[in-house]
Amino acid sequence: MPWPFGPSSSSEAPLPQKPRDNKAEGREPAKSWNSLLPKPDPPLQAAKEWAPVFLTAVGSLAAFMFYQSYLRRFAGAASIQENFFRKRSLLGRVTSVGDGDGFHLYHTPGGKLAGWGWLRKIPEGRSNLKGETISIRLAGIDAPEGPHFGRPGQPFAAEAQAHLSKYILHRRVRAHLHKRDQYNRIVATVSTRQPFFKKDVGLEMLKQGLATTYEAKSGVEWGGKESIYKAAEAKAKAKKLGLWSMKASEFESPRDFKNRTQGNEKDKGDIEESAAQKPWWRRWLTGTKRYPADLSFKETIRQKLLLPIEMFCMMINDDQDQSLVDGLFSTGQGLICWLS
C-alpha cells in the first residue's frame, strides 16, 4: 500500500538536488587537513635564515682551536700537550739561567701582536714567577756541571752560565720542542735574534767552547743539526777555546763527570741503605757506619756498652756485693762475644 503522503508512485526516481552554494549562503568552504599544516619555506629562504647560526658556530669553533693552538699560555712544562712535541714551538722571555745548558722561559704566545710587553705585562721577581715558567734544556749540548748539593763543580761551569746569561737573559727566544726529559724539563732547540739574524743558542755555546755535544748511546735530540753541532765542537777543540784549553790529563767531559759523581753518590746510598737494614740495636751500638775506622767492632761495643757496666760495678763494689759485680762483668763480656 503506497504511502498516502508520498509521491503517487514509489517507482519514480528522486529529483536531483542542487549542490549548496556556500558563498550564496554566506558559509566558508570546507578546508582539508593539508591546508591546515604550515607550508615549508623555500630552500633559499631556509638557507638565509640558518646561515648566521651555522657561521657563528663554525667561527666559534675555529676561534677556540686557534686559541688552544697559538694563543694559549702554558704556565709550566707539565701543561704542554704531547702532540706539541716535534711539531710546535713556543715564544717567550727568559727569566733566569740555571746553568750553561738550561734556563726558565715565561711563555708569551702571540708575542707583541698579542699585547705582550705593552698591553700585557710580563711579571718580574721570583715570587711572581713561581709556578709560571717552563724549564728548558738545550738540545744536543752538555755544558760543564756547576756545584750542586755540596758537590764541587767543573771548570768553566761559571763561565758557561755567565755567557748563556749574557746571551739570552731577559730576551725573547723561540723554543722548538722535542720531548720532555726525566726531570720534567722540555728539551728544545732554542733560537734568538742577535741583533737581526736568528742564532741557534746551543750552536753558539759549542762555538765558544763552553759546551760539548751531548754524549749518550740513545735518546739524544739534535733537532736535525747533529753534523752541524759536531763540526762546531771540532772547530772549537782545534782552536782550544773554553774547556778545550785544559790539558788532556785534566779534561773531563760533563758526561764523565756526572757518571763519576753519581757513582759515588750511589755507593754512599748503598752504604746508608745497608746501615738502615741492620737491626736497631746494632745501629745504636755502631752508628750509621759499621764502626769507626780506628776502632774494632769489639772496642766500639766496649765503649758503648761495657764501660757503663764497669762504672756501675765500681759504684756498688764492696765485700758484700762482690758476687753481683762478678756476675755483671761476666754478663757484659759474654754479651760482647755474642754480638761479635
E strand map for the chain: 89-99, 102-107, 134-138, 141-142, 172-180, 186-193, 198-200, 212-213
List the beta bridge partners of residue 92. 107, 173
Residue type at 257 in one-letter notation: F
137 is catalytic: yes
Count other C-beta atoms under 10 Å from residue 18's C-beta. 6
Pairing of strands 102-107, 134-138: antiparallel
Closest CA to 80 of 176, 199, 210: 176
List the beta bridge partners of residue 135. 104
For residue 92, report the phi and psi dihedrals to the nearest 5 degrees.
Answer: -165, -175
C-alpha dist (Å) from residue 219 to 20, 41, 202, 297: 97, 64, 17, 48
Closest CA to 204 of 257, 144, 247, 143: 143
Cell numbers for 188, please give them. 728544545
145 is catalytic: yes
Q: Which of 73, 174, 180, 185 is catalytic?
A: 185
Q: Which of 137, 172, 221, 233 is catalytic?
A: 137
Whether the bond into 42 is cis, omega within 30 of 0: no
Residues with a catalytic annotation lie at 137, 145, 185
